[in-house]
Chains A and B, each alone.
Chain A
Amino acid sequence: MSEIDSYLKNHESLLYTYHITPEIKRIADKYGFLEYMVERYLEFLGDQTEDFLSSCSLPLTKSIRCNSLKVNCGELEKRLADRGFSLTKIWWSRFGYRVEKSPPRPSLGATVEYMKGFYYIQGEASMIPPEVLSPREGELVLDMASSPGGKTTHMAQLMNNRGTIVAVEKNPSRLRKIKSNISRLGVSNVVLLSMSGEEVSRLGMEFDRILLDAPCSGEGLIPLDPSRKTKTAPEDLKNFQRTQLTLLVSGFRVLRRGGFMVYSTCSIAPEEDEVIVDFAVKYLGMKVERIHGIPGERGLTSFKGISFSPELSGCIRTYPHLQYTEGFFICLLKKE
Chain B
Amino acid sequence: MRKVRTEQFSRALHEYGCDRFPANFELYEIGDIIYGTMGDPNILEGIMRRDVKVEMIGLPLLLRRGRKLVPLLALGDYMAKSCSHRVRLPDRIIEKILYGRTVTVKETYNFRKGLLIDGHSDFVAFITLRSRKKGTEIIPDLDIGWYLRAGG
- Residues on A facing B (Cβ under 8 Å): 70, 79, 109-110, 112, 114-117, 138, 140, 161-166, 169, 175-177, 179-184, 186-195, 202-205
Give the distance to chain B from A79, nearest Cβ to Cβ, in Å.
Answer: 8
Which of B44-52, B100-108, B129-137 makes up part of the contact surface?
Answer: B44-52
Which of B3-11, B13-21, B31-39, B82-90 makes up part of the contact surface?
Answer: B31-39
**Bound-state Cα–Cα, A223 to B118, Å:** 38
A205 touches B59 (CB 8 A): no
Q: Which residues of A contact B139 (CB under 8 A)?
A: none
**Bound-state Cα–Cα, A126 to B47, Å:** 29
Give the distance to chain B from A140, nearest Cβ to Cβ, in Å.
Answer: 6
B52 touches A186 (CB 8 A): no
**Shortest 10 CB-CB contacts between residues of A and residues of B:** A180-B151, A176-B152, A164-B39, A115-B144, A194-B53, A188-B58, A177-B152, A192-B55, A192-B56, A183-B74
In this complex, how many residues of chain B approach chain A with their Cβ under 8 Å: the count is 40
Q: Which residues of A contact B39 (CB under 8 A)?
A: 163-165, 188-191
Q: Which residues of A contact B51 (CB under 8 A)?
A: 202
Give the secondary structure class of B's interface: mixed
Binary per-residue interface labels of chain B (52-75) against chain A in the complex, 1 for a CB within 8 Å, 0 otherwise = 111111111000000000001110
Give the secondary structure class of A's interface: mixed
Q: Can you list 6 residue pairs at the A/B interface with Cβ under 8 Å?
A: A112-B95, A115-B145, A116-B122, A177-B151, A182-B59, A193-B53
Known contacts A116-B122, A195-B53; decide if A189 and B74 are in contact (CB<8 Å): no
* Number of A-B residue pairs with CB-CB distance less than 8 Å in the complex they form: 118
- Residues on B facing A (Cβ under 8 Å): 25, 36-40, 43-44, 46-47, 50-60, 72-74, 77, 91, 94-95, 98, 118, 120, 122-124, 144-145, 147-148, 151-152
B55 touches A180 (CB 8 A): no
**Bound-state Cα–Cα, A182 to B73, Å:** 11
Q: Which residues of A contact B37 (CB under 8 A)?
A: 188-189, 191
B40 touches A163 (CB 8 A): yes
A184 touches B147 (CB 8 A): yes
Within the complex, which residue of A163, A169, A183, A191 is in contact with B57, where a contact is CB–CB below 8 Å? A191
Within the complex, which residue of A115, A169, A175, A177 is in contact with B148, where a contact is CB–CB below 8 Å? A115
**Bound-state Cα–Cα, A79 to B37, Å:** 29
Chain B residue with the shortest CB-CB distance to A79: B120
Known contacts A115-B144, A188-B38, A205-B43; decide if A183 and B98 are in contact (CB<8 Å): no
Q: Which residues of A contact B151 (CB under 8 A)?
A: 176-177, 180-181, 183-184
